[in-house]
Amino acid sequence: MRILSISTLFPNPVKPSFGVFVGNQMRAVVARDDVDLTMISPIGMPPWPLSMRSNYARLKNVPEMSDAVGLKVHYPRFTLIPKIGGDSNPGRIADAVLPLARKLHAEKPFDLIDAQFFFPDGPAAAKVARDLNLPLTIKSRGADIHFWGKRPSALAQMKEAASQAAGLLAVSLALREDMIALGMPAERIGVHYTGLDREKFHPVERGAARALVSAMPNLGIWSEGPLLVTPGALIPRKGQRLVIEALKLVPEARLAFAGAGDDEAALKAMAKRLGVADRVHFLGLVDHEVLPHLLCAADVLVLPSASEGLANVWVEGLACGTPIVIPDIGGAREIVKDDSAGRIVPRTPEGIAAAVRELLANPPSQEDVAENASRFSWGLNASNIVHFWRDVLEGKPIAGNQELMQA
């Protein structure tokens, strides 16, 4: 079975943690030896002089093809128009991918075209699939549906791609319902839960983990006191402002943000204005090798996002034995099934603070918390997506396939 998969969010030699969860999935697929996978990760580069900015200039060092991230990946460039060109990205991505896809297909034909995000990857992959006259599959992960689904032009492109696709995937049952509500064909949508690197994400005694991360000079984590951690990009959708407000209601706790983004300056100003700046630490981007230690060291993981499909970091936090406090969004109820996993709360500072206080006062054991993530692994995740691709090629039903939903 020869699969051509397209993902704009994927590790590369310059940004090895970029889209690491997609990279983990595809490495596990390749390790099975029953799929011949070709990976294409288009890289967006804006016109000069924007291309000279440091975040783009670094990407010029990514080769056209590399196996530095554990599998062979092609990195064609497409023209990116920052801020205003999002709706038209699929066309430019397809134009960049098609010459390469045609060449590779002529050398050794593919059986199926796959997209790992619904937007912009899905409509771009649909154009490639039409050109090569091949079946199409598309996976949705959350923000691609919840954000782009509110933009008429993007939604129209996604619905057209969905109607063309032989099979669709959602990362949670809740996201599947959201896709159906947008008008996508229910009978072709399966559920494919995320995976987990069980060798990295597992409980380490909290005190020992705290001593380790507090000794790391690049982190500078406090060695004492209850620790809350909020991983993720510093953008409004992730809800870090709510966590800062909640911190004021939990005076004994300290908070570490693990991530970077455009909201950092505003968040620092807010922490100062509320008088909690001395209890908030901005760690920046945390290496994926260090993240498990940080999660094990934390007493509570707090992530009040406005939308998610089923966040990988929810599963990673639980696997480390750290209870999570999250809103009732996406697949939250598919992962927080009882109090041992944490709390599902209103998306308010008061709701967050109340849940944090409960968990600090009566913490579940790390082992009990970690049991909530025992059903997740990248091996099972890879097995399920390969099973899905095979079912698509054999014309078998997708919706309601219980094997896909195993996790």
Domain map of the chain by residue range? 2-195+377-394, 206-371
pLDDT tens sequence across 243-295: 999 999 999 999 999 999 999 999 999 999 999 999 999 999 998 899 999 99
Query: What CATH number has the domain spanning 2-195+377-394?
Result: 3.40.50.2000
Q: Which of 130, 105, 349 is nearest to 246 (CA)?
A: 349
**Calpha distance 161→181 (Å, rounded):** 16
With a cut of 70, say whether residue 407 has pLDDT above it: no
Q: Which of 66, 1, 79 is nearest to 40 (CA)?
A: 66
pLDDT grade for 400, boundaries at 50, 70 and 90: low
pLDDT of the residue at 48: 87
Dihedral sign computed on CA atoms, order 104, 116, 167, 150: negative
pLDDT grade for 341, boundaries at 50, 70 and 90: very high
pLDDT of the residue at 29: 97
Q: Which of 46, 80, 77, 53 is nearest to 63 (CA)?
A: 77
pLDDT of the residue at 55: 82
- Give me the residue label for tokens 């890289």: 43
Considering only the top CATH level, what class is 206-371? alpha beta
pLDDT of the residue at 125: 98
| CA distances in angstroms from 317 to 19, 161, 170, 313, listed in the order given | 18, 34, 21, 6
pLDDT of the residue at 288: 86
Q: Return the structure tokens found at 407.
A: 């996790």
**Calpha distance 111→126 (Å, rounded):** 14
| CA distances in angstroms from 365 to 154, 299, 362, listed in the order given | 45, 11, 9
With a cut of 70, say whether residue 324 has pLDDT above it: yes
pLDDT tens sequence across 190-207: 999 999 999 999 999 999
pLDDT grade for 406, boundaries at 50, 70 and 90: low
| 2-195+377-394 shares its CATH topology with 206-371 | yes
**Calpha distance 119→184 (Å, rounded):** 14
Cβ neighbours of residue 49 under 8 Å, at least 6 residues apart? none
With a cut of 90, say whether residue 50 has pLDDT above it: no
